[in-house]
Amino acid sequence: MKTDVAIVGGGPGGAASAMFLIQEGIKPVIIEKETFPRYHIGESMTGECGGVVRQLGLGDEMLKRRHPIKHGVKVYGQHSWFVPVMARDASYNLMDQTTWQVRRSDFDRMMLEEAVARGATLIHGQATRPLLDDEGAVRGVQVKMADGGLVDIESEVLLDCSGQKTFLAQAGVTGPKYLGHYDKQIAIFSQIANGIRDDGETRDTQPDNTLIFYQKKYHWAWWIPLDDEVVSVGVVSPAAYFLEQKESKAEFLKRELYELHSELKRRIPELELIEETRSIPNYSFQVKRFCGKGFICIGDAHRFIDPIFSFGLYVTMKEAQYAAPRVRAYLEGANRDADNPFAEHQVLCEKGIDVLEDTLDGFWEHPFTFAYLVHARHRELMVDVFAGRIYENQPSEAVEGFRRLLKRERTYDSEDIYSLPIGSRYHPERAPLWEERPPI
């Protein structure tokens, strides 16, 4: 089988890639191993993520499906603060906006079905290995079909949208995969019903906002409403702390929901977990050289930092949007002889995620300065970052401020257009390779 573009993974990154490619006149093939609907974590959208959904023409459908409307995120630490969802109008003035919380089984299915309805071909199977030519360029992918048979799909471009499976990195096609700055963390999560929501008139007291709670560094909880009754709850902590407790995941989660912050406890008068308790350890990583001849890795397939301010869905869908016109240009002959035909795309994505990384690190390392910047000094610039405006007009004065506080320089030159994996508190000297991670 031959196609211009093959996409590994039919999650939001793969489905958005397909829809943006179709807007460019290219009908791709999507390979997805799971049968949808399937469970997935990652339920809160940033403002600009909602913007991408609207640009795909799905805003009305989202309203019809009654996904909870998010007006912002409220953070409870020693004090509480709120960041509203705001967009920029044509004159670049801030204006109120809303976005959504999504049950991923529903949202991901909608996205994939829409991509197929618009002209993508869906193949139900597991991508097993990339096909390479003599020079190492990616020329397609081998797929194990549901009946066990193997099929080669030849492509001009392969988009890796496989999420944390990092298909091309695992196959050794990309540069090395490094542990990320938030390695050795674990997220443990489930759902509750009938928690106490805010019910106010102002944007910061809307019932479906995201709430974040923390007391100690790197130890926090989320509250993301999924419908009028159900709220997704999760606790993120160092994995060593979880292991020390010697509790089951459900026991750990229940105890933490009551001990982590008094405000969180207040909101859950009757604590019963109504969904399986799941966990994801070691979600933080970074892949170097994630674009190259015949391939682009999108979203989680090349980098994920930390879920605290809900950027994952946005990054994957925005990268899909940025990639589509570049793929079209490549198919039309642009950069065919370049070492890395998608080098510009790669550096754009890296710079954007670096803005996020430095913001998150600023939050944990300098919480009081962070709160001051959000409230007073750079309120509008921080509203931009929280919404996801991380690719243009960045690094802003606020982000430059974090970099000074963190004593971190970011340089991008033509020789090494990837941002440097910066290590972590466990490995301050360098970021270790993914294969070197200890078992959890």
Ligand X SMILES: Cc1cc2nc3c(=O)[nH]c(=O)nc-3n(C[C@H](O)[C@H](O)[C@H](O)COP(=O)(O)OP(=O)(O)OC[C@H]3O[C@@H](n4cnc5c(N)ncnc54)[C@H](O)[C@@H]3O)c2cc1C
> E strands within 175-325?
177-179, 185-193, 210-214, 220-225, 230-238, 278-281, 285-287, 291-292, 295-297, 303-304
Write out the DSSP string of 212-237. EEESSTT-EEEEEE-SSSEEEEEEEE
**Is 80 strand, coil or helix?**
strand
**Interface with ligand X, residue 50, by CB under 6 A:** no
Binding residue count for ligand X, defined by CB under 6 A: 37
Residue nearer to ligand X on the CB measure, 162 or 419: 162
**Interface with ligand X, residue 167, by CB under 6 A:** yes
**Interface with ligand X, residue 34, by CB under 6 A:** yes
**Interface with ligand X, residue 130, by CB under 6 A:** no
**Interface with ligand X, residue 375, by CB under 6 A:** no
**Interface with ligand X, residue 316, by CB under 6 A:** yes
> Smallest gap, in angstroms, from Cβ of residue 189 to ligand X?
6
Binding pattern for the stretch 248-287 against ligand X, x by CB under 6 A and - elsewhere: --------------------------------x--x----
> Smallest gap, in angstroms, from Cβ of residue 411 to ligand X?
27
Binding pattern for the stretch 2-21 against ligand X, x by CB under 6 A and - elsewhere: ------xxxxxxx-------
Q: Report residue 258 as tokens.
A: 């009551």
Supply the angle between the helices 312-331 and 12-23 in degrees, to the nearest 10. 40
Q: What is the largest CA-CA distance in the chain?
A: 64
> Smallest gap, in angstroms, from Cβ of residue 90 to ligand X?
26
> Smallest gap, in angstroms, from Cβ of residue 204 to ligand X?
19
How far apart are alpha carbons 323 and 27 in whole angstroms? 14
Burial of 248 (0-12, 13-18, 19+ CB in 10 A): exposed
**Is 309 strand, coil or helix?**
coil
Q: Are 388 and 49 in contact (CB under 8 A)?
A: yes
> Smallest gap, in angstroms, from Cβ of residue 296 to ligand X?
12
Q: Which one of 41, 132, 329, 406 is in contact with ligand X (CB under 6 A)? A: 41
The residues, any chain, with a CB within 8 Å of residue 398's CB and separated by 6 or more, are 373, 377, 378, 381, 382, 385
**Interface with ligand X, residue 162, by CB under 6 A:** yes
**Binding site residues, ligand X, CB under 6 A:** 8-14, 31-34, 40-45, 126-127, 161-165, 167, 187, 280, 283, 299-300, 307, 310-314, 316
